[in-house]
Amino acid sequence: MTRSFQAPSALRRRLMAAGLFGAVAHPFAALAADAWPAKPVRLIVPFPPGGPVDSTARIASQKLGEIWKQPMVIDNRAGAGGTIGAAIAAKEAPDGYTLFLGSIHHAVNPSLMGKLPYDIEKDFAPVSFAAMFPVFVVAHPSVPASNIKELVAYAKAGHTLAYGSSGNGGGTHLAGELFNIEAGTKLQHVPYKGSGPAMNDLLGGQVQLMFSDAPTALQHIKSGRIKVLGVASRQRSGMLPDVPTVAESGLPGYEAYSWAALFAPAQTPKAVLDRINADFNVAMKDPAVKQRLLQAGAEADAGTQAQMRDRLHAEIAKWRKVIQTAGITAG
């Protein structure tokens, strides 16, 4: 009987202390989330200034800064197809004060590059998709096709057609290889160091086609220097609403687009993630933000955390299959 009244052991004291701390720490965490953000928020962008992902970051961050009444600081950490910035962001404190704007590269890199210094699904918490960058199928005026059906028929008739891309394993390359798989064509891939050089050769007729991002293609489509055969996204683009999708033009199920999505380091408190997601959706639905994104070649595409998690997982699986089927390697 006397043993039941003995003082707790050191271990029991620690456990009791931990239990007591846990009881008070939980409401404190909620209060901290309510007070967030109390200082500037850093947004790591894993690409150089000026590209579509960077433009999306700057447009969104301006509106979020207004909502939060705290500045959002853009930190460009470019290199290695977005892996350098991702590796940095993955190691940051999970307190909501460092966020990461990833892209389609981060769904492709696990299959293309093999072992990475981070795991995009385990080391990050999804916040929301941010923007979709439509991919337009464009052709040199010399190509005798005015739509996707005619392009497929011309290619299958034995005519050699080459398409330029922004680089091996990039989104515009994968869109072309997915087209080959779905249409049964053998379009030849010609990689360039960026979309600009690829477009220059399309304008000059050195390549006949491109699966081009909107910022690169739109001015040349509108000037008539190239022709647009279709848009690769599931729905028509607000940038060129009269252009049919590839799917409705004879290739059902085909869909390819580039995107940007907002992440936080894993273990960021749920209350903070919920707050960021809610405010981010408000920002991306703002008419002025949506208009600025369109002018930059992007379409606002926010949603829930669960939707982002599911889409990211689906994108990884989709492009892994394309990479394996087409035998694509990095470099």
Q: What single string gives the DSSP state of each residue in 235-270? A: S--TTSTTSPBTGGGT-TT---EEEEEEEEETT--H
- Alpha carbons within 13 A on the beta-carbon side of 125: 23
Q: What is the per-residue pLDDT for 23? A: 36
Please say if the pLDDT value at position 316 is more than 50: yes
Q: Are 262 and 41 in contact (CB under 8 A)?
A: no
pTM attached to this predicted model: 0.87
Q: Where are the domains of the chain?
A: 41-132+258-326, 134-231
Distances (CA, A) of 66 to 62, 98, 244, 278: 7, 18, 37, 14
Please say if the pLDDT value at position 31 is more than 60: no
Q: How far apart are CA 221 and CA 232, in angstroms?
A: 15
Confidence of residue 229 (pLDDT cuts 50, 70, 90): very high
> Do the domains spanning 41-132+258-326 and 134-231 agree at the CATH topology level?
yes
Please say if the pLDDT value at position 10 is more than 70: no
* CATH label, 41-132+258-326, candidates 3.40.50.300, 3.40.190.150, 3.40.50.1820, 1.10.3720.10: 3.40.190.150
Q: How far apart are CA 270 and CA 284, in angstroms?
A: 21
Q: Are 43 and 99 in contact (CB under 8 A)?
A: yes
Please say if the pLDDT value at position 22 is more than 50: no
Task: Check if CATH label 3.40.50.300 holds for domain 134-231.
Answer: no
Q: Which residues contact 227 (CB under 8 A, 6 or more apart)?
A: 138, 139, 141, 143, 146, 221
Q: How far apart are CA 67 and CA 136, in angstroms?
A: 34
Confidence of residue 32 (pLDDT cuts 50, 70, 90): low
Confidence of residue 15 (pLDDT cuts 50, 70, 90): very low
Indicate if the alpha-carbon torsion angle 226, 229, 231, 237 is positive or negative: positive
